Amino acid sequence: MFSLRAGTELAVVLNSESAIRSAFARPELCARPDTFMFRFFSMGERGVASASGERWEAQRRFMHSALGRMGFGRPRMEELMQEEVGELCQLFSEKSKESETVEIGRDINVSVVNCTWGLVAGERRSHGDEKMKDFLYCVQRGIELASTSAVLLFAPWLLRFLPERLLGIPEMREMRDRTHDFLQEVIDEHKESRQEGEPARDFIDAFLDEKEKPGHHESFDDELQLKMVCAELFAAGAEPTSATIRWAIRFLAENPEVQEKARDEIESVVGSHRRVELSDKPDLPYLRAAIQDAVRLSDIHPVGILHAPSEDTDIDGLRIPKNSFVFPNFHRVHRDPSLWECPEELRPEHWLDPATGAFVPQRPGFVAYSSGRRRCPGQEVGQALLFCFLANLVQRFEFSLAEGDSAGKVETSMGVVVGPRPYRLVVKERS
Ligand code: HEM
């Protein structure tokens, strides 16, 4: 652990798994910093990802349980996800016939966003739907702008000297308002079509149901809260998941022997006459291990999402004032040679019991979904999406590097989520 002064702020970096787990288990270390950026995104303690305090606790508890109930374990959700995977495979098939290489980028984002949309609004929109395209643009542009304005975290005083325009704030506001307008339309449609006494069709219904329960938390009476949590499911859910899928495809192309072994396993368990389903998971340990190691290696949140102490406190004797920044250094843990046999490589064996070959879902050194009270509430949803997309893509296509391309030669985006910029691969449909 060490601390440094970044701009006007004190930042503490937690460098080991035990430091991260013990700090994040403490309630006073689970707030978000009270700075312009977090206030802007939480619109006054709303939502979950940027919020803190009592409202955060009530909304987070609800989100976690609603995602469990609505999640991809349910037949309707699996159906939606399979339709989306089918459309993506179709697109890859057409594109692979048109040119030698296929771009791995936007198509995957759209598919994952559409699945998240199914979870939130219970319906599927086509890849060409104009409103959906605009919504996706606004969410992604908002994330990009938030990343480029991150300087405000360390130098909030800039707001006093520079016009908002130079810091991208008017555009951020516009993106936020456009996503909220679209979500408001969908919420209004839900209010009209909901049937009393019927089970919730999706996350929006579940929220509206909660609001009618006696003794519900007052934050459920606030419609802006509903729009905020819906928008967050895209920003905090779809983007990390699609970035991880794009990384995983890249790693599989760079490691053909791992890809072939995973594909052989699918062939022997599922064959090629039907799609891979979530229920096949227990029979595909090698594929699951390859995916889990891709999550570790892709490290999309290398220093997590900032925490801040809600009161003056100390960690291991170091005094940490209220509202300073606490960064968990996930990258360091995921690349620690004392924890991982081959930290810089894709190694499914990291996750396989050497005696039985069984998949071991949790082991020391893995903190990709964080730890403690802020741990990612969408982990199960994310894992279902990763499995379903990657299993079906590997079943149907062979991904390889084009001539002149080589391992590690891919540009990354910087920001809240570190993903690969769109890149091209040779994509061969398997017969
Ligand atoms: C590969 C996929 C994913 C990864 C690696 C991931 C990782 C993370 C991490 C590291 C955090 C920060 C936790 C902290 O502050 O300590 C987080 C928070 C969060 N994630 Fe995920 N996530 C993924 C997918 C998802 C999905 C699919 C959803 C929703 C459907 C989701 C919803 C959220 C939310 C709402 C938060 C904020 C929680 C809070 O502040 O209390 N995530 N995630």
Q: For every one of its 431 residues, what pLDDT tens digit does the chain have, with 9 covering 90 and above? A: 888 887 777 889 999 999 999 999 999 999 998 888 778 877 877 889 888 888 999 999 999 999 888 776 677 788 889 999 999 999 999 999 999 999 999 889 889 989 999 899 988 887 778 888 888 888 888 877 877 767 777 777 777 778 888 878 899 899 999 999 999 999 999 999 998 888 888 999 999 999 999 999 999 998 899 999 998 888 888 889 999 999 999 999 999 999 999 999 999 999 999 999 999 999 999 999 999 999 999 999 999 999 999 999 988 888 899 989 999 999 999 999 999 999 999 999 999 999 999 999 999 999 999 999 999 999 999 999 999 999 999 999 999 999 999 888 899 987 778 999 999 999 999 97
Nearest residue by C-alpha to atom 25 in ligand 1: 237
Distance 7 CA to ligand 1 centre (A): 27
Angstrom distance (rounded) from CA 258 to CA 271? 18
Do 246 and 105 meet the contact criterion of CB atoms below 8 Å apart?
Answer: yes
* Beta carbons within 8 Å of 130's beta carbon, 6+ residues apart: none
Give one word for 216, left, alpha or beta, with left for phi > 0 and alpha for psi -120 to 50: beta
Cα separation values, 209 from 47, 119, 181, 219, Å:
18, 16, 22, 13
Tell which atom from ligand 1 comes closest to the C-alpha of 371: 16
Alpha-carbon separation of residue 50 from 25, 42, 244, 354 (angstroms): 18, 5, 22, 41
What is the value of pTM for the model shown? 0.94
Nearest CA to ligand 1 atom 41: 374
Give yes or no for residue 236 CB within 6 A of ligand 1. yes
Strands 397-400 and 2-6: unpaired
Q: Looking at this protein, which amino acid is placed at residue 56?
A: W
Q: What angle do CA 293, 297, 302 make, to 5 degrees?
A: 135
Q: Which of 1, 30, 29 is nearest to 15 (CA)?
A: 1
Out of 77, 330, 376, 379, give the residue to mutate to test ligand 1, the one with the largest number of ligand atoms within 8 Å of its CB. Answer: 376
User: Closest Cα to residue 425, out of 410, 412, 416?
Assistant: 410
The rounded Å distance from CA 243 to ligand 1 centre is 13
> For the chain, how big is the Rg over CA atoms in Å?
22
The answer to whether 380 touches 71, Cβ cutoff 8 Å, is yes
Whole-number Å distance, alpha carbon 296 to ligand 1 midpoint, is: 14
State the fold for domain 9-420. Cytochrome p450 (1.10.630)
Cα 24 to middle of ligand 1, angstroms: 15
CB-based burial, 210-244: b 16+ in 10 Å, e otherwise:
bbeeeeebebbeebebbbbbbbbbbbbbbbbbbbb
By alpha-carbon position, which residue is closest to atom 1 of ligand 1? 241
